[in-house]
Amino acid sequence: MPLVNMKDMLTHAWENGYAVGGFDLVGLEFLDGIMRAAEGERSPVILSLAESHFEYYDFELAMAASVAAAERSSVPVAIHLDHGASLESAIEAIRLGCNGVMVDASHHPFDENVAATRAVVEMAHGCGVPVEGELGYVAGVEGEDAERHPGEVVYTHPEEAERFVAETGVDFLAVSIGTVHGRMRGTPRLDFDRLAAINERVQRPLVIHGGTGLEDAQFRRLIENGVAKINYYTALADAAAERIRANRREGAGYTALLEGVREAVAEETARCMRLFGSAGQADAVLASAEPWRPVEHVIIYNVEGLDEAGVHEMMRHGREVLGRIPGVRRVITGEAVQEQARYRFAWLVEFVHPAVIKSYRDHPGHTAFADNHFRPVAGDRISIDYRVVE
């Protein structure tokens, strides 16, 4: 499964002078096009799902497709929540399979941004998941995404960036140095001196939002100054829309209109991968990055002092409270098929990463359930954490 730890992926990019694209997808054509490009270019890739786009697709369904695409891919993939709006959405994204999350509190004053970001970092790090924060504000100018990023650009201040990283513990920092969400109007002017000063102080992978419309030489200078992730969307959406317009003819149906959209998305994505220098880096990333594999927390047990209805109620309650704990992907409760089985019942709790073994054990939701509802009736039990092996 070439889902890999996103922190390892971006550290490799940062140390080796290239950037990985965080390509926002808004449908299956995008997902397919982005993955075709990554396979064709032998490039690591970040499948990016922006909360600001959730009105256009079902996040849970898109995550299932993204996880499936990553599982069958031969190049390293990370799945990232872009522009996460709250702690709750970060928890949900991790539950559904994101192994990187962004918390976007950049429109709030510094202290509020720090508090909101730190809360996500504490939760996500307990799940082994790295976090991207944003300081400064990347506004929108033109194009379908611009209205989702209203207001004026606020540039990132280098000293504040250093303080922000120290106080929040973010793994990657999105900075504002003159890029905008959506299309550019005129020639983009980027403040590279500011970026160099931020890079000097922050010393970790930097992220650029608003990749659309930058010139080739600008991408190179961004990367030279510490940018290891470039978010890219509008140009993909424009290439897809242009293709649909070209397909328009009397009586054209839905599939006829979509013809060639995947290829158009793939072409623009592949161009970015060559430009960002990530093309050809897949094998090096696979060799250096932790494979992102779940852990199965298995308990088999017998019950004393509860009738069958009581056991089923205890299981239902457990599925509900344990399923909400950050880093838990799913909770399955089981009953032995064979009447004579040494152990009658089972829990199968899937954690997104080994880090969850500890954070789950210490979580108040788990300790309350275990101490009050489970352990008193299930003295006869075995529990083991299994790392998935491939």
Residues with a known catalytic role: 82
Neighbours of 54 (CB within 10 A): 15
**Rounded to whole angstroms, how far apart are CA atoms 134 and 208?**
10
Do the beta carbons of residue 71 and residue 35 sit within 8 Å?
no
Candidate segments 62-70, 187-195, 206-214, 241-249, binder of ligand 13P by CB under 6 A? 206-214
Q: Which is nearer to ligand 13P, 41 or 82 (CB)?
A: 82
- Asked whether the CA dihedral 60, 63, 69, 74 is positive or negative, the reply is negative
Residues β-bridged to residue 50: 82
**Rounded to whole angstroms, how far apart are CA atoms 370 and 131?**
30
**Rounded to whole angstroms, how far apart are CA atoms 181 and 138?**
7
Among 164, 232, 360, 374, binds ligand 13P (CB under 6 A): 232
Please state the closest distance from residue 356 (CB atom) to ligand 13P, in A: 27
Helix, strand, coil percentages, rounded to 5, for the chain = 45, 20, 35
Alpha-carbon distance values, 305 to 18, 334, 375, 376 (Å): 61, 18, 12, 9
Residue among 71, 6, 84, 82 nearest 35 (CA): 71
Q: Which is nearer to ligand 13P, 234 or 281 (CB)?
A: 234
**Rounded to whole angstroms, how far apart are CA atoms 206 and 19?**
10
Candidate segments 89-97, 207-215, 250-258, 307-315, binder of ligand 13P by CB under 6 A? 207-215
Among 66, 113, 199, 212, binds ligand 13P (CB under 6 A): 212
Token pair recorded at residue 151:
């207001």
Please state the closest distance from residue 134 (CB atom) to ligand 13P, in A: 9
**Binding mask 10-49 vs ligand 13P (x if CB under 6 A, - otherwise)?**
--------------x-------------------------
Residues 98-157, interacting with ligand 13P (CB under 6 A):
145
Give yes or no for residue 82 binding ligand 13P (CB under 6 A).
Answer: yes
Q: Which is nearer to ligand 13P, 274 or 293 (CB)?
A: 274
Candidate segments 65-73, 230-238, 280-288, 325-333, binder of ligand 13P by CB under 6 A? 230-238
Burial class (CB in 10 A: 0-12, 13-18, 19+), 354: middle
Please state the closest distance from residue 53 (CB atom) to ligand 13P, in A: 9
Count residues binding ligand 13P (CB under 6 A): 15
Give yes or no for residue 233 binding ligand 13P (CB under 6 A).
Answer: yes
Among 210, 226, 326, 327, binds ligand 13P (CB under 6 A): 210
Please state the closest distance from residue 193 (CB atom) to ligand 13P, in A: 22
Residues making contact with ligand 13P (CB under 6 A): 24, 50, 82-83, 145, 181-182, 209-212, 231-234
